[in-house]
């Protein structure tokens, strides 16, 4: 038995060797062996012990360590989250082995959303790479570091498709597109779970938030979601399904209601769809305090009612509330909940523990105490090269007038802006296991790139925001996350202008602080805060070339700033190596290749704006404007930057699309090919995107939908032919009767380097 290496566990075993031998393996990691094992274990458990397994708690002020010790002793807790050091985790697992009757190991979870110790770009930035190999590497490194910290599970990936830039959580997902989000989610599940979540350096994933959380009305967090069954099935559900097909062991249930039913109380969602139709065998976990919230939703009359509804709707484990522990015993006693219903939920908890290998080795992700890192935050634990590689791939070049970029490594560069020297913001939200002092700010990255070849001047220029209420709001989450400069705005501005005047080029790093794009950080206005707009105006007025490096976690409306900038780079929150990666792009050591995973609106009034909309009966044609067509009279219809858009320092051309055949037989395939040529004088990567449009169907179909993409690298002058196989699955949609069908008829194939400019062909599905 491997786990005997833990001294404390060995000591515990001597107390009850026979039973523990029985409990701990080696057990083969097969479903059959697991089912037999769990059935047997369930028979040994009291009702209270079973109910204890359904409780997931966070270590913190509400649950101090002493209280947790008591819970462990009395088998009142099944899993722990928000603790991330081997010491702490080992101490709790030791308590299980020493104090509890059954010694059922705890599992340990955390929000490993875009890295653990090494912080990678926020998921929206990862999606902007369109590079599944790079994202798989992010998954592997994140899982490695998380497992090395003793964790067994991550609350990720978040695959909530969203068309809502007002919603702060767009930063945590992969944007507006179903196909791209599915690919990202699938890749992360496969790479984080590896061959088995039981492996030393794998963790189990818990895809979230099931379902439809990205469609909260008005982009206001936790708000209502209401949509047609067709849209839900076609656009919002496939990424969860893709993550589950990839084997995700967990599902986190959404906080919102969906068509009137809170997800936590939705037996259609959690049982009929998830279990019966999709055959999900893993565990469902409520989101933070969601069971209690059923009363506020107005579907449960009191705590008992909330608990009964949640468990009977299919919520296996409750996160961060004491409700299951407190009320399930009584509910079983009075017959409102059967012991069989408890057993079903507990079985899922025990199953995932088994799949995590915890019944073979409760310390499998911990190893012997002597192997613990001397310093949890040691530099040697980081994966900087991996972080830099993916960060530079995530950066999107939005504008480059007269080839302002790349900059020369000579002369004087003025680096200005409240985000230019921020080590905290560049990590983005959900990065608490990372250390700000280990991340590279843009200022540092630029200095690293230039060495003594050029002069770098710096001025902050403005606060992130001068709005006191917003400063206070942001600092509520994380003390000191917004550092307010004691100088007056005018003093800061004057210094910035004086600094800019001494330079050959201005690089202004502006946008949002990390806390502005987070859970519970919805905005009704998605522009750059006014303090920074004043700064941009003043910098522009110097007449120096102006490069804007955007740091933000959502699409921003920045029509004027786009006009003011000579070059515009979208860098998201790019992580530990962000500053170096941004400098790589600024100075041409890396040729940008990122593409937007979300449309950037011109104004908040255009929201929702997304590329795969329906045509309507009165589509607007700007070449023949007509009053009674679908448009705004005070603004353009189209976005500032479309989905899939991003420039390069080189240029690419596309040949006409070639179809392998004019028709596609029933359930057959057809290929669409295009030849891409790098017509510039630099090597570069780009993303070839294939969209389909069903010209006429029984219900209206989107003007285009992404159905394939390929990131390619081309040397200057080089050409490559890219072929997209199209099969019947790409043609299918949910019809008015909620049947998934592919209807015969004409399909347009559109291939381009963004969603707006494509070269087209067609075929007929027979």
Interacting residue ranges for ligand BGC, rule: CB under 6 A: 111, 155, 208, 287-288, 519
In whole angstroms, how close is the CB of 465 to ligand BGC at the nearest point? Answer: 24
Of 270 and 510, nearer to ligand BGC (C-beta) is 270
Of 111 and 361, nearer to ligand BGC (C-beta) is 111
Query: Could you tell me if 363 and 333 are in contact, meaning their C-beta atoms sit under 8 angstroms apart?
Result: no
Neighbours of 199 (CB within 10 A): 17
In whole angstroms, how close is the CB of 113 to ligand BGC at the nearest point? Answer: 8
In whole angstroms, how close is the CB of 181 to ligand BGC at the nearest point? Answer: 16
Q: Which residue is nearest to ligand BGC (CB)?
A: 155
Tokens standing for 572? Answer: 């998201």
Neighbours of 615 (CB within 10 A): 12
In whole angstroms, how close is the CB of 430 to ligand BGC at the nearest point? Answer: 8
In whole angstroms, how close is the CB of 209 to ligand BGC at the nearest point? Answer: 6
Cα–Cα distance, 622 to 745 (Å, whole number): 28
Note the Cα 565 to chain centre separation in Å: 29
Query: Could you tell me if 394 and 129 are in contact, meaning their C-beta atoms sit under 8 angstroms apart?
Result: yes
Name 38's Cβ contacts closer than 8 Å, sequence gap at least 6: 347, 350, 351, 354
In whole angstroms, how close is the CB of 119 to ligand BGC at the nearest point? Answer: 16
Of 389 and 519, nearer to ligand BGC (C-beta) is 519
In whole angstroms, how close is the CB of 521 to ligand BGC at the nearest point? Answer: 12
Name 395's Cβ contacts closer than 8 Å, sequence gap at least 6: 128, 569, 570, 571, 572, 574, 581, 582, 585, 592, 594
Name 693's Cβ contacts closer than 8 Å, sequence gap at least 6: 701, 702, 703, 704, 705, 747, 748, 750
Of 145 and 519, nearer to ligand BGC (C-beta) is 519
Query: Could you tell me if 127 and 224 are in contact, meaning their C-beta atoms sit under 8 angstroms apart?
Result: no
Tokens standing for 399? Answer: 């504008």
Closest CA to 391 of 447, 451, 440, 444: 440
3-state secondary structure of 459: strand
Query: 48 catalytic, yes or no?
Result: no
Of 175 and 250, nearer to ligand BGC (C-beta) is 250
Note the Cα 286 to chain centre separation in Å: 18
Query: Could you tell me if 52 and 74 are in contact, meaning their C-beta atoms sit under 8 angstroms apart?
Result: yes
Cα–Cα distance, 609 to 621 (Å, whole number): 17
Neighbours of 675 (CB within 10 A): 14
Catalytic residue among 94, 287, 361, 386: 287
Of 190 and 519, nearer to ligand BGC (C-beta) is 519
3-state secondary structure of 357: coil
Cα–Cα distance, 591 to 649 (Å, whole number): 6
Of 321 and 519, nearer to ligand BGC (C-beta) is 519
Burial code (b: 16+ CB inside 10 Å, e: under 16) for 261-279 equals ebbbbbbebbbebbbeeee
In whole angstroms, how close is the CB of 204 to ligand BGC at the nearest point? Answer: 14
Of 287 and 584, nearer to ligand BGC (C-beta) is 287
In whole angstroms, how close is the CB of 186 to ligand BGC at the nearest point? Answer: 19
Of 249 and 579, nearer to ligand BGC (C-beta) is 249
Neighbours of 483 (CB within 10 A): 16
Cα–Cα distance, 448 to 441 (Å, whole number): 10
Of 102 and 156, nearer to ligand BGC (C-beta) is 156
- Helix crossing, 489-501 with 530-541: angle to 10°? 30
In whole angstroms, how close is the CB of 208 to ligand BGC at the nearest point? Answer: 6
* Measured distance between the N- and C-terminal CA atoms of the chain, rounded to whole angstroms: 60
Query: Could you tell me if 127 and 578 are in contact, meaning their C-beta atoms sit under 8 angstroms apart?
Result: no
Cα–Cα distance, 121 to 141 (Å, whole number): 13
Mind telling me the catalytic residues?
Answer: 287
């Amino acid at each position: 038995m491997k786990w005997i290496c833990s001294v404390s566990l060995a000591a515990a075993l001597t107390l009850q060797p026979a039973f523990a031998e029985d409990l701990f393996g080696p057990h083969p990691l097969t479903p059959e062996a697991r089912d037999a094992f769990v059935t047997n274990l369930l028979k040994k458990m009291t009702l209270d012990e079973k109910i204890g397994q359904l409780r997931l708690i966070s270590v913190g002020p509400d649950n101090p360590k002493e209280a947790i010790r008591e819970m462990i002793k009395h088998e009142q807790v099944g899993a722990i989250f928000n603790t991330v050091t081997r010491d702490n985790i080992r101490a709790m697992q030791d308590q299980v082995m020493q104090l509890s009757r059954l010694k059922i190991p705890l599992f340990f979870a955390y929000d490993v959303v875009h890295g653990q110790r090494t912080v990678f770009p926020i998921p929206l930035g990862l999606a902007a790479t369109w590079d599944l190999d790079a994202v798989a590497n992010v998954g592997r490194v994140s899982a490695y570091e998380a497992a090395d910290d003793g964790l067994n599970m991550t609350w990720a990936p978040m695959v909530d498709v969203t068309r809502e830039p007002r919603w702060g959580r767009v930063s945590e997902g992969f944007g507006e597109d179903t196909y791209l989000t599915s690919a990202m989610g699938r890749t992360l599940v496969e790479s984080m779970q590896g061959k088995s979540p039981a492996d030393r350096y794998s963790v189990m994933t818990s895809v979230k938030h099931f379902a439809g959380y990205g469609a909260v009305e008005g982009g206001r967090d936790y708000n209502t979601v209401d949509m047609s069954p067709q849209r839900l099935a076609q656009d919002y559900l496939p990424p969860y399904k893709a993550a589950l097909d990839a084997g995700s062991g967990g599902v986190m249930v959404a906080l919102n209601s969906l068509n009137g039913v809170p997800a936590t109380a939705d037996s259609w969602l959690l049982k009929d769809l998830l279990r019966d139709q999709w055959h999900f065998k893993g565990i469902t976990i409520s989101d933070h305090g969601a069971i209690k919230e059923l009363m506020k939703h107005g579907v449960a009359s009191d705590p008992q009612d909330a608990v009964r509804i949640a468990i009977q709707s299919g919520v296996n484990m409750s996160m961060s509330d004491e409700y299951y522990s407190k009320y399930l015993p009584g509910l079983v006693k009075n017959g409102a909940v059967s012991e069989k219903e408890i057993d079903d939920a507990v079985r899922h908890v025990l199953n995932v523990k088994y799949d995590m290998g915890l019944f073979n080795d409760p310390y499998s992700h911990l190893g012997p105490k002597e192997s613990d890192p001397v310093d949890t935050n040691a530099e040697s634990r980081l994966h900087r090269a991996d972080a830099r590689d993916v960060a530079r791939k995530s950066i999107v070049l939005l504008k480059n007038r007269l080839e302002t970029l790349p900059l020369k490594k000579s002369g004087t560069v003025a680096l200005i802006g409240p985000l230019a020297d921020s080590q905290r913001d560049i990590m983005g939200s959900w990065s608490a296991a990372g250390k700000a002092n280990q991340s590279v700010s843009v200022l540092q990255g630029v200095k690293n790139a230039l060495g003594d070849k050029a002069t770098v001047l710096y001025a902050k220029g403005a606060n992130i925001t001068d709005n006191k209420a917003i400063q206070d709001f942001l600092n509520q989450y994380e003390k000191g996350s917004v550092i307010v400069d004691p100088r007056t705005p005018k003093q800061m501005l004057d210094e910035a202008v004086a600094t800019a005047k001494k330079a050959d080029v201005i690089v202004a790093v502006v946008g949002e602080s990390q806390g502005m794009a987070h859970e519970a950080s919805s905005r009704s206005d998605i522009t750059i805060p006014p303090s920074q707009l004043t700064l941009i105006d003043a910098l522009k007025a110097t007449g120096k070339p102006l490069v804007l490096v955007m740091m933000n976690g959502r699409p921003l409306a920045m029509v004027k700033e786009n006009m003011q900038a000579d070059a515009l780079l979208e860098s998201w929150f790019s992580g530990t190596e962000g500053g170096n990666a941004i400098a790589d792009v600024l100075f041409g050591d890396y040729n940008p290749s990122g593409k937007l995973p979300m449309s950037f609106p011109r104004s908040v009034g255009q929201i929702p704006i997304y590329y795969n909309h329906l045509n309507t009966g009165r589509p607007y044609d700007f070449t023949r404007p007509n009053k009674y067509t679908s448009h705004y009279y005070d603004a353009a219809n189209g976005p500032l930057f479309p989905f899939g858009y991003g420039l390069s320092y080189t240029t690419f051309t596309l040949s006409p699309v070639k179809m392998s055949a004019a028709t596609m037989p029933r359930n057959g395939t057809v290929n669409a090919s295009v030849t891409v040529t790098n017509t510039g004088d630099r090597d570069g990567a780009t993303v070839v995107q294939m969209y389909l449009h069903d010209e006429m169907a029984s219900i209206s179909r989107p003007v285009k939908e992404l159905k394939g993409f390929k990131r390619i690298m081309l040397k200057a002058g080089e050409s490559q032919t890219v072929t997209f196989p199209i099969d019947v699955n790409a043609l299918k949609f949910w019809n008015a009767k909620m049947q998934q069908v592919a209807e015969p008829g004409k399909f347009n194939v559109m291939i381009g380097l963004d969603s707006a400019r494509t070269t087209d062909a067609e075929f007929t599905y027979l």
